Chains A and B, each alone.
Chain A
Amino acid sequence: MAQRKAQHYWRSWEEGPGASEFVQISRDEFAESLDRPTEQFSRRSFLKAAGFTATVTALAAGCSHAPVEKAIPYLIQPEEIVPGVSYFYATTCGGCSAACGVLAKNRDGRPIKLEGNPEHPLSRGGLCVVGQASLLNLYDSHRLKGPLREGQESTWAEADAHIRAQLETIRASRGAVRVLSGTVSSPTLRAQIQTFLASFRDARHIVYDALSSSAIADAHQATHGERRVPHFRFDKADVIVSFDADFLGTWISPVEFTRDYASGRRLDTLPPRMSHHTQVESRLSLTGAKADQRIRVSPAENAAWIESLAACLAKTAGAALPFALNGEVGPHNSIIEQLARRLWQARGRCLVVCGSQEPRAQILVNLINHLLGNYGTTLDWNAPSQQKAGNDCELEALSEELDRGRVAALFLLHVNPVYELPNGPAFRAALGRVPLVVNFADRWEETSSLSRFLCPDHNPLESWGDAEAVRGVYGLCQPAIRPLGNTRSVLESFAAWSGDTRSAYELVRAHWRENIFPHAGNAGEFDAFWDRAVETGFVSTAVQATNAKPFSFSALENLPKISTPAGLSMVLYPKVAMLDGRFAENPWLQELPDPISKVAWDNYACFSPAAAQRLGVQEGDVVRLETTTEGGATTSTELPAFLQPGQHDQVVAVALGYGRQGTERFANAGPKWLFARSGVGADGRVGKNAAPFVTLRDGYLQYVRGGIRVTSTGRRSALASTQGHHSLTMPKDLPLVGGQHRDIVRETTLPALLAGDFKAAPSPAKINGLWPTDHPYTGHRWAMAIDLTACTGCSGCVVACQAENNIPVVGKDEVLRHREMHWMRIDRYYAGEDEVDVVHQPMLCQQCDNAPCETVCPVIATVHSAEGLNQQIYNRCVGTRYCANNCPYKTRRFNWFNYMREDALQNLALNPDVTVRSRGIMEKCSFCVQRIEAARIEARRSDKLIADGQIQTACQQSCPAQAIVFGDLNDPSSRISKMVQGPRRFAVLEEFNFRPAVNYLAVVRNRDASGKSPSEDRSNG
């Protein structure tokens, strides 16, 4: 079998197929020109300055006294707390309704880091960007400090008195009471809301998700007789087909799905297990980037593909359908047949998922899964997911009621309908007609500013609570800090208005005693059960096996019509960091470069390069996107264009969650200096709100909008894109060992790997090194391995690193100047042209044995440790930046300023074990040396050796795919020692003899040995 020819990897359209100035820009260290006026500095001036400096130094030295510092101990120290020691409290993440288990690292009374809870049955130690960053929401000074009434500060007693009085009137007059919320994952809160509503004649709890999966639940209502979202088990699937479902990025429960997906693609087991993943999608999603086979289709074609796949499978299964499905998708039938064949061979071991909001598509997907016998295996029907409980149909009914002024009281629970619903302005107007509007939002935002009563909820880290992610898996929330403001748990608010004065703790405990403990199947005392739950953060209970109703073929009889968007369609999608915009005021999330586009601090209109050419649009051009509704009303927005390879040519993709009220605060997020520019748009906000393009049609929130007109505004806007920053290039003109050009990332196919044809690392050649081998490593030798086959690029590690290592946020303007400070970045490479393959490569300091940075430091501020760490000593550094210049991996970051936090309160989240770097200092990944040292101290204290796996770096801990392994190479039994043995191991630029301690395992795609996926054969449709 011939070795596959080296791929040509590229990072952006300009660098790849559409080459231009990019390559030059990416090689320059400074984004801006350096020809600033330089003054003549004469010898005299030098002497003057030197003399003055010497005098001042001498004076300062002679008179200096450290500031008097107070040490204030406890009066009565709590028994379990020792100052300076971190404690972990198991709780549940409040970032989204996926409800992953987290451990809150508490230091001296405050949480300073969230880690995934490795024991949790769903998330199993992983945590996403939103979960990692949600720590910062706790320390947000913009949170409301207490209840407000008519916009004025109030007290809980006063607010309660008014609300209860008004509720009495409503009860007497039989007015309509509505609670509008996102998915409430807390069973206690659901019960509390029901108790509260039970006392009213006309009361309803309406649930919607801004990122809705309503059609999945409704399709199951039609086909299986119950409105459920089944629990998807990607770990059990050997063949995965996803139609526009970004399940590794943002869909339903990405951390759990990533873990499951990765466990289905384990190459270190014998025999290796590797699922086959086909992604049919219109934009390039994180999931599509990982797919073995990726098929670009327009949103209009998507349904046809599902339909013909269903028809093809029905024919194979010999199922009698009540009517004939259209089995034609034109020239691509061979791909469909191949898909169907692959699925059929893996009956009961495959999974077809669909992210569409078209009920027809979802019903057909149910049919496909039914024909393949997946219900009960890869689709868990008995323990359905509780993570997307929204029902968009009810939303339509509510809008109508509101319009007619029929609602007497509206409670808004963690939703922002004025911002996130397509009819936001109408909603705003309708709110004015509701006599009692109570909002639990914790800040001023689009909807809360219109509410009569603001009853801010605690942050999830401040309160007791619970969450049921999947039926039978209950997570418990416990407070990790005393509430910072005079806020109150929603549980307590609803209880208070129902005449119940119990605290949230008592309410949760009582609910668990009555409803969860009896099913937990242990005969012990409730107290012991509760204590155990508080300790572990969750309990699993047995779920009753409900007999799934047989698939109802009658549901197929009158399939709802599909609407096919015409012309250029807008696809509205959530980014992994911003989701629906719920945490738009979180600077860590704003500054995180999107894993695919690598753009931070903005949303933008993504066009495929071909579409951009057709429309005459260039990257950075501000374009006006416009569409007209049936009623003749026009919706429009203006966004900078971004060229996104791999996207369908009939699509413009725009991210939701931007343009939020409150993001005005980021205007001056960066350092204040002469050339500082504002980090927000002309309207003062970060990005533009794309929610007006969402439609609520036939009872479903639709994220595809047809008939988009694109016009140029003639303006240009710079996008804070990091894709050309700190980029690695393999110089073509350098003589390499063996003379072969090798790429920064390596990939192969599963057959080639199994055949033993593949070897990622260059064959060992005699290298005449410049460096003496003076690192004996007699003790430990720390190293890392990153499995690129497992890595999805989700970026959870980037934010985990930021939280652990006190990495500052620099703001959009500084990112534009290539000065982002992330110690870890996710390099994203494309290969191919129309049908692109994507490789994500986490890039951090490679801790080279022969580190080029060490040899050039004039003050020896970066030196090698006896255990293989490349140490950066901040107090020694004078900021020459020689090291960054000489670093081949571009992983060093320079503090151009004292980067203050935009919000001083957020300094409470700083990790006291890591120095806060000041201006003029170089910094970089330290392999979380603070964790190594902590483990060493602990090991010596208990007279043990550091066990393999005991030290987890922050990035490793957070990785949902478990792609990162850290350990001791000198221990032959350690996991890392074994990982670096296989043929997939390579190091970046290893031909240059830097001998990095970070090893990568090559990407393996489940394709035939030619590396081609069938989709590459077809012309772009």
Chain B
Amino acid sequence: MNDRLITIVLLVGLAFSLGVFAVQAGSWHLPGNQQGYEPIQPIAFSHRLHAGEMQLGCVYCHSAAEVSRHAGIPPASTCMNCHRYVSAPLGVLRAEDDLAKKENRKPRSIVSPEIQKIYAALGLDDQLARDPQKNLAPIAWTRVYRLPDFVYFNHSAHVNVGVACQQCHGPVETMDRVKHVSDLTMGWCVNCHRTANAAGVATKPVHPSTDCSTCHY
């Protein structure tokens, strides 16, 4: 009797463990594989809006990608190129303009809370002038794509031969919040280098090396 109970308990436990394992196994990665990582950022910046709807080119903000190993995160001053004038969604601004016209007054300045964060970082006042009372506070984004220290990856080498950003970073122009799409494993890198060697990048012949020291030194 007692033996039976123990057997049942053990079997239930085993079934539960297997169940949990099965659920976990779906999202199981090797150490270092961050596929699916989608951290919350300090500012809810939407790539879907900027790169998708507005069709801004990737290197407009990530300009270092053409010359440096890092693509770079744009400085707040780049945001201000547009957000000096665009302080809230267009609909909201238009509505306020219409309302102001109707009420025959100057439109009130409307600043969306997310864009306000840029102004705050730059220590700007309501008139978007530098307020010496306020501290400058750089925006600490959470890094999504990260390679181990023993891998050397150079953005410019890839961007300049015509590798599309989306090839590694996925359809960023559809993402509100950036998600780690590819797995960034070595096999994934090497496969692409091999394919490119045979077929070129967008039919342009390139000859990426598959020597170890291309990336590891």
A915-B150 contact in complex given A84-B64, A84-B68, C-beta closer than 8 Å: yes
Interface presence of A929 (CB below 8 A): yes
Q: Which residues of A contact B72 (CB under 8 A)?
A: 73, 82-84
Q: Which residue on B lies nearest to A75, using beta carbons? A: B76
- Flag if B39 contacts A873 (CB, 8 Å): no
- Flag if A69 contacts B146 (CB, 8 Å): yes
Bound-state CA distance A82–B121 (Å) is 21
Q: Which residues of B contact A60 (CB under 8 A)?
A: 31
- Flag if B141 contacts A85 (CB, 8 Å): no
Question: A84 touches which one: B28, B32, B70 (CB < 8 A)?
Answer: B70
Q: Which residues of B contact A74 (CB under 8 A)?
A: 75-77, 138
Q: Which residues of A contact B149 (CB under 8 A)?
A: 915-916
Enumerate A837-895 residues with CB–CB distance to B below 8 Å: 863, 865-867, 869, 871, 873-876
A75-B136 contact in complex given A84-B69, A866-B209, A933-B213, C-beta closer than 8 Å: yes
Question: A933 touches which one: B32, B68, B214 (CB < 8 A)?
Answer: B214
Interface presence of B127 (CB below 8 A): no
Q: Which residues of A contact B143 (CB under 8 A)?
A: 68-71
Main DSSP-derived SS at the A contact region: loop
Question: B64 touches which one: A72, A83, A929, A933 (CB < 8 A)?
Answer: A83
- Flag if B160 contacts A85 (CB, 8 Å): no
Interface presence of B2 (CB below 8 A): no
Given A62-B28, A72-B141, A77-B78, list of 17 further CB < 8 A pairs? A60-B31, A61-B31, A64-B31, A64-B32, A68-B39, A69-B143, A72-B140, A73-B141, A74-B75, A76-B75, A83-B70, A84-B64, A865-B209, A873-B216, A933-B152, A937-B156, A941-B157
- Flag if A940 contacts B217 (CB, 8 Å): no
Bound-state CA distance A926–B211 (Å) is 13
Question: A867 touches which one: B28, B39, B156, B211 (CB < 8 A)?
Answer: B211
Bound-state CA distance A84–B217 (Å) is 16
The 6 closest A-B pairs by CB, nearest first: A84-B68, A84-B70, A77-B75, A74-B75, A865-B211, A73-B73
Interface presence of A914 (CB below 8 A): yes
Interface presence of A47 (CB below 8 A): no
Q: Which residues of A contact B115 (CB under 8 A)?
A: none
Question: B138 touches which one: A65, A72, A865, A914 (CB < 8 A)?
Answer: A72
Bound-state CA distance A915–B76 (Å) is 31
A875-B150 contact in complex given A64-B31, A77-B77, C-beta closer than 8 Å: yes
A68-B76 contact in complex given A85-B67, A915-B149, A937-B156, C-beta closer than 8 Å: no
A73-B213 contact in complex given A82-B64, A916-B149, A937-B157, C-beta closer than 8 Å: no
Contact with A along B97-134 (1 / 0, CB 8 A): 00000000000000000000000011000000000000
Q: Which residues of B contact A937 (CB under 8 A)?
A: 154, 156-157
- Flag if A929 contacts B34 (CB, 8 Å): no
Enumerate B172-217 residues with CB–CB distance to A below 8 Å: 209, 211-214, 216-217
Q: Which residue on A lies nearest to B154, using beta carbons? A: A937
Interface presence of A913 (CB below 8 A): yes
Q: Which residues of A contact B34 (CB under 8 A)?
A: 65-66
Bound-state CA distance A511–B163 (Å) is 53
- Flag if A66 contacts B64 (CB, 8 Å): no
Q: Which residues of B contact A71 (CB under 8 A)?
A: 73, 140-143
Q: Which residue on B lies nearest to A63, using beta carbons? A: B31
Interface presence of B5 (CB below 8 A): no
- Flag if B32 contacts A66 (CB, 8 Å): yes
Interface presence of A338 (CB below 8 A): no
Bound-state CA distance A916–B152 (Å) is 12
Q: Which residues of A contact B63 (CB under 8 A)?
A: 82
Give me the interface of B with A, judged by CB distance under 8 Å.
Answer: 24, 28, 30-32, 34, 39, 63-64, 67-70, 72-78, 121-122, 136, 138-143, 146, 148-152, 154, 156-157, 160-161, 209, 211-214, 216-217
Question: B68 touches which one: A85, A914, A929, A940 (CB < 8 A)?
Answer: A85
Bound-state CA distance A62–B67 (Å) is 37
- Flag if A875 contacts B209 (CB, 8 Å): no
Bound-state CA distance A76–B130 (Å) is 13
- Flag if B76 contacts A73 (CB, 8 Å): yes
Bound-state CA distance A83–B24 (Å) is 39
Bound-state CA distance A875–B72 (Å) is 26
Interface presence of A449 (CB below 8 A): no
Q: Which residues of B contact A73 (CB under 8 A)?
A: 72-76, 138-139, 141
Q: Which residues of A contact B140 (CB under 8 A)?
A: 70-72
Give min CB distance, B123 to chain A, whole Å.
9
Bound-state CA distance A926–B212 (Å) is 12
Which residue, of A70, A916, A930, has the highest number of chain B Cβ atoms within 10 A? A70
Bound-state CA distance A787–B28 (Å) is 56
Bound-state CA distance A56–B74 (Å) is 41
Q: Which residues of B contact A916 (CB under 8 A)?
A: 149
Give min CB distance, B117 to chain A, whole Å.
12
Give min CB distance, B56 to chain A, whole Å.
17
Enumerate A900-914 residues with CB–CB distance to B below 8 Å: 913-914
- Flag if A871 contacts B213 (CB, 8 Å): yes
- Flag if B216 contacts A874 (CB, 8 Å): yes
- A/B interface sample: 25 pairs, CB < 8 A: A69-B146, A70-B140, A70-B142, A71-B142, A73-B74, A73-B138, A73-B141, A75-B77, A75-B121, A76-B75, A82-B67, A82-B68, A82-B72, A83-B64, A83-B68, A84-B70, A866-B209, A866-B211, A873-B212, A874-B150, A876-B216, A913-B152, A933-B152, A933-B154, A933-B214
Contact with B along A160-196 (1 / 0, CB 8 A): 0000000000000000000000000000000000000
- Flag if B142 contacts A865 (CB, 8 Å): no
Enumerate A29-79 residues with CB–CB distance to B below 8 Å: 60-62, 64-66, 68-77
Give min CB distance, B71 to chain A, whole Å.
9
Bound-state CA distance A867–B211 (Å) is 9
Q: Which residues of B contact A876 (CB under 8 A)?
A: 212, 216
A863-B141 contact in complex given A82-B72, A940-B161, C-beta closer than 8 Å: no
Q: Which residue on A lies nearest to B160, using beta carbons? A: A941
Q: Which residues of B contact A61 (CB under 8 A)?
A: 28, 30-31
Bound-state CA distance A681–B57 (Å) is 64
Q: Which residue on B lies nearest to A69, using beta carbons? A: B143
Which residue, of B24, B28, B211, has the highest number of chain A Cβ atoms within 10 A? B211
A70-B141 contact in complex given A61-B30, A62-B24, C-beta closer than 8 Å: yes
- Flag if B217 contacts A69 (CB, 8 Å): no
Bound-state CA distance A429–B22 (Å) is 81
Enumerate A521-563 residues with CB–CB distance to B below 8 Å: none
Bound-state CA distance A73–B136 (Å) is 13
Q: Which residues of A contact B122 (CB under 8 A)?
A: 75-76
